[in-house]
A and B are shown apart, each in its own frame.
Chain A
Amino acid sequence: MKPKVAFFDFAGCEGDQLQIANLEEEILDLLGQVEVVSFREVMKEHSDDYDIAFIEGSCTRLQDEERLKEIRKNASLVVAIGSCATIGGINSLKNYQNMDDVKKTVYGEKASLFDTYPARPIDAVIPVDAYVHGCPMTKDEFLHVVKSLLLGKKPEIPNYPVCVECKKNENVCAFERGEFCVGPITRAGCNSCCVNEGTKCWGCRGMVDNPNENSQKEVLVKYGLSVDDAIGKFKLYFGWQGKKK
């Protein structure tokens, strides 16, 4: 019997689910292996009978925790997809601000009607079995993780930085092009896609397990970034990881 899969979204842009909807020819091969029972972005039907839950978005309200716990109860495997779900993502930028100000900025006069709390990744609320990092995640890595899970294998996600892939791809180092890059401490697995396209790494996959953050900051400053801006570089995607430490 094919495993049943369901997709869920929390605070996020749904860009990761869009990557799945955009799988094109591979989507048929994928549907040969799994049965999709819930996927709001592409279908109307919904069922709570599923084996694998893919969760996009970060948890930003207390009441989201209940829904997450419910999903965890139903699923035998929970997979976080995309930066918001895996590392808190850019939603965690608000964690550096006053929550009331945040609400006022977003909801204006109606701010009091809405709840919010510091954004966090899914595994801050429930145990997560596998991660598909990235903002958005890449189709290739999504398929890699799905195939691993279907084979009963823990997906192998690199614990080395983006520099490794950048070097293999023979990119001119972003620093040598005058860019400020956080690839040296960001978890690889994206095939250094942003640098391949001529920009820099923003850190959307989060930091490696044991980053040398001080050295990364010193490098940014050495290449001409102000100390404040160097610290700012860490807030964009490393907000939750950084605060947790």
Chain B
Amino acid sequence: MHVLSKEDFSEFINSLIAETSLNVVGVKSKGEKFAFGPLESANQLRLDYDVTILPPKKYFFPQRETLVTYDVSSGYQSKSLADVKPTIIVGAHPYDIMAMLHMDEIFRETKSDPNYLTRRNSSVIIGVNIQNMSESCFASSMGCATIDYGYDLMLTDLGDKYAIDVGSHKGADLLNKYSKNVKKALARDIQSVGKKKQKIMNKTQQEFGFSSELIPEMLGKFYEKTSFWEDHSEECLSCGSCVLVCPTCYCFDVMDNPDLSLKTGERGRTWDGCLLEDFAKISSGENFRNTKSARYRHRYFKKGKYLFDRFGFVSCVGCGRCSSNCLPDIANPVNLFNDMYDESLKIGIQIDPATIPDIKIKTGDTIDYAPKIATIVKKVPMTANETMFELKLDDGSELGHQPGQFVQVSVFGVGEAPFGVSSSPTKKDTFELCIRKLGNVTSKIHTLNEEDKVGIRGPFGNGFNAELLKGKDLLFVAGGLGIVPLRSLFNYVLDNRNDYGRVILLYGCKEPRELLFGDEILSLADRDDVEFKSTVDRCPENEVWNSNVGVITTLIPQVDFDPQKTYAIVCGPPIMYKFVIRDLKSHNVPDDHIIVSLERRMKCGVGKCGHCQINQLYVCKDGPVFNYSKIKGIPEAL
């Protein structure tokens, strides 16, 4: 440990500020509050602050940023990060440093986010031990009131000087290069730092009446207690303040901003929040978390359970920002968890300390947010609202998808939307998407023609495991647009017909004119190696239909299959799954023989933005294809 007089510390900061290659930011006053902002002089620093309005994560994950720029004539280009200056953050409190460590894991897991990590890796964190604690702070309860790692330098105010703990080579180099008169700390300085840290750890404005280790386990027992969540969220304004000020929240939205020329523009991302009403809403109007209590509960589960199961930490550091920014005063985790604990005592729920789950954090390639360009080589209208597009990547590469995977399709200036690939991987040069006109991107795609260009990212997600299904009997159950992703597997199976047992397709749509892939599908009736049945919910008088009328489940009793040898592959509108699965189960199909493909609002496609989350799972990353046995216990799934 070292010490630096306050005067020399100011000199140190001022010499950092004088260095134009560095971006020096620190805690300053803002009205009656505090905020991190650019420093012009060390005098502006307010290291005696209690809490800043926003956490310093904004320097790595800014409120708004450009991911990609585009030019209609040349395509998409990732925003260059070459001009990112190293940011020196002066005055981060220990809880905010811990939050950065959480964010690092999240932005690094599976696929790394280049924008976050480039900024983060070049930054230097000069922390400061808490001198004044905000009224809503419960960092001690979360074990984050002090910290022994994660910083480059850590300051402790010792009256006329700062004690400086060097936490990294980066910190040491900075101190060596820019400061004068750094002295070795004396024994009594080290002792005073120890005492101060001890005092902070014990001093707490708000605290849990139980150990925070119980949180994941306790939450697990309260998911179904609907009235508990409704009571606590009754006054929720759905304003998102609690999540927007949170140092560990990372959800974002993506949108295109065209220039007035309409030929060029950018695709940006901005902070989003799961407390906001439309967060999980898709173009068809379906909102997968449509009550304020479901959204309110999701916030607690995300922090306290889902991230714990994924990373081994409860992703709350006790800064108290959520609670001090909640106008109706319902966002305070201390109140909620204390109520939950009291309630569990009252109703006699036993809670054991949550065991740390077996975690293997995978890291992988860097995300490329810039789509490749593809050309529409064929456009075939299928129904009044659905059109099939055959696409070819301009760089000549193959899409290389598995059946059941999806791609993100971009239309210049309009945006990006996910679509299941409907062609089999055996079709190599081109791939097919069948798109229903519904929202902005899909409506615009319908106005495009052969030779027009779109952007493609992907393929993404988990597809069907065609290998595992070899030798099995396959029962495809498709409702409406659900035939689209199933077709990629179905055609793959037909192209490798000898590898599979019986192939049965049950396909239903609302009315005859909504039948997709009409000729292709109806011609299946001529094949003797495929059993095919179709149905419509109703047939209007002016249409012709010679087959079954009734919902899709009416077809299931019409086929005879051996449930032990058969795998059912199911895709359709959200309402369909429950009923189809119920009927399959009544035919003794084992749970792990049911495979479903789910639809959610997928924005980033790579497990970061949070929109497609169903409880602990990301549909874009863990799905869209799931084995039913893996999701049957997941309440938001079906």
Contacts and interface: CB of A to CB of B under 8 A. Distances in A.
Interface of A: 26, 29-30, 32-33, 143-144, 147, 150-154, 156, 159-161, 163-164, 167-173, 175-177, 183-185, 208-212, 214-216, 218-219
Given A160-B277, A184-B327, A33 B262 contact: yes
Interface string B202-214: 0000000000000
A164 B239 contact: yes
Nearest to A152: B444
B375 to A, nearest CB: 20
12 contacts: A143-B260, A151-B258, A153-B413, A160-B239, A160-B277, A160-B278, A161-B238, A163-B239, A167-B241, A170-B58, A209-B277, A219-B237
Given A164-B240, A168-B271, A173 B325 contact: yes
Contact of B276 (A164, A173, A176, A211): A164
A227 to B, nearest CB: 16
Contacts of A175: 327
Contacts of A210: 238, 277
B277 A167 contact: no
B440 A167 contact: no
Given A147-B258, A163-B240, A218-B328, A152 B30 contact: no
A167 B237 contact: no
Contact of A212 (B30, B33, B257, B292): B292
Given A156-B255, A167-B54, A173-B325, A150 B237 contact: no
Contacts of B261: 29, 32
Given A147-B262, A151-B258, A173-B325, 4 more contacts: A153-B413, A156-B440, A183-B239, A209-B277
Interface string B57-82: 01000011000000000000000000
B633 interface: no
Interface string B232-250: 0011111111001100000
Contacts of B58: 170
A153 B414 contact: yes
A150 B276 contact: no
B260 A215 contact: no
Interface in B242-289: 244-245, 255, 257-258, 260-262, 270-271, 273, 276-278
A170 B238 contact: no
Contact of B236 (A173, A183, A215): A215
Contacts of B560: none
Interface in B567-581: none
A167 B327 contact: no
A151 B414 CA distance: 7
B396 interface: no
Contacts of A171: 53
B273 A168 contact: no
Nearest to B245: A167
**Interchain residue pairs A-B with the least CB separation, the first 3:** A163-B239, A167-B244, A29-B260
Contact of A168 (B257, B258, B270, B440): B270
Contact of B244 (A32, A159, A164, A219): A164
Contacts of A154: 439-440, 443
Contacts of A214: 235
Contacts of B397: none
B54 A170 contact: yes
A153 B444 contact: yes
Contacts of B30: 170, 172
A160 B276 contact: yes
A32 B262 CA distance: 11
B311 to A, nearest CB: 25
Contacts of B31: 172, 177
B13 interface: no
Contacts of B235: 212, 214-215, 218
Contact of B33 (A153, A159, A176, A209): A176
Given A154-B440, A163-B237, A168 B260 contact: no
B499 to A, nearest CB: 45
B212 to A, nearest CB: 26
B440 A163 contact: no
A151 B410 CA distance: 14
Given A159-B277, A160-B276, A167-B245, A172 B237 contact: no
B35 interface: yes
B328 A215 contact: yes
Contacts of A216: 237
B32 interface: yes
Contacts of B244: 163-164, 167-168
Contact of A26 (B260, B278, B415): B260
Contacts of A143: 260
Interface in B214-244: 234-241, 244
A176 B375 CA distance: 54
B447 interface: yes
Contacts of A169: 63
B277 A147 contact: no
A208 B292 CA distance: 14
A67 to B, nearest CB: 31
A51 to B, nearest CB: 16
B424 to A, nearest CB: 32
Contact of B241 (A29, A153, A163, A185): A163
Given A163-B240, A168-B244, A153 B54 contact: no
Contacts of A150: 262
B240 A32 contact: no
B268 to A, nearest CB: 12
A153 B277 CA distance: 22
A216 B292 CA distance: 15
A219 B328 contact: yes
A214 B234 CA distance: 10
A16 to B, nearest CB: 19
B216 to A, nearest CB: 28
A31 to B, nearest CB: 10
Contacts of A33: 260, 262
Given A32-B260, A152-B443, A159-B278, A170 B35 contact: yes
Identify which of A143, A167, A212, A214 gathers the most chain B CB atoms within 10 Å of its CB. A167
B53 A172 contact: yes
